[in-house]
Amino acid sequence: KQEVTQIPAALSVPEGENLVLNCSFTDSAIYNLQWFRQDPGKGLTSLLLIQSSQREQTSGRLNASLDKSSGRSTLYIAASQPGDSATYLCAAMDSSYKLIFGSGTRLLVRP
C-alpha cells in the first residue's frame, strides 16, 4: 500500500529565502507525482506534475524533482514571498490513477 510522507510538517522562513519541501513515497511504481497548494479552507491548486519518466518540472519560481528509485520528490521554492504562505501537498498517483496524498507542509513566509 502506497504511503506518502512530507517533511517538515511546518516551516517558517523570512521573505526572500529559498526553501525545499520534501516528499517521500514507499512504492516506486507511480504513474506521476503532483504538487498542490492549499490555502486555509480552500480547494487544491495544482502546481506541478512530474510524469514517472521525468526527473523534474519547473514553473516560475517553483521547481519539482522526482527520484523514483529512492522514492523521493522535492519542491524547491525560490525567493519566497508572503503570498507563498499555504499548505503544500504532494500526491503520488498509482497505476489505477488514484492519488495518495501526504499530510502536507504548512509554510509561513514572514514579511
Q: 33 near 97, Cβ under 8 Å?
A: no
If the CB atoms of residues 11 and 49 are measured against other proteins, the closer one turns out to be 49
Task: Say how far apart CA 104 and CA 77 lie, in whole Å.
Answer: 15
Task: Say how far apart CA 10 and CA 59 lie, in whole Å.
Answer: 23
The only residue of 64, 89, 107, 109 in contact with other proteins, by rule CB under 8 A:
89
Q: Tell which residue, 28, 25, 33, 30, has the closest CA to residue 6.
A: 25
Q: Which stretch binds other proteins (CB under 8 A): 18-26, 28-36, 67-75, 78-86?
A: 28-36
Q: Is 62 in the site for other proteins (CB under 8 A)?
A: no
Binding site for other proteins (CB under 8 A): 31-32, 34, 36, 41-44, 46, 49, 51, 89, 91, 93, 96-104
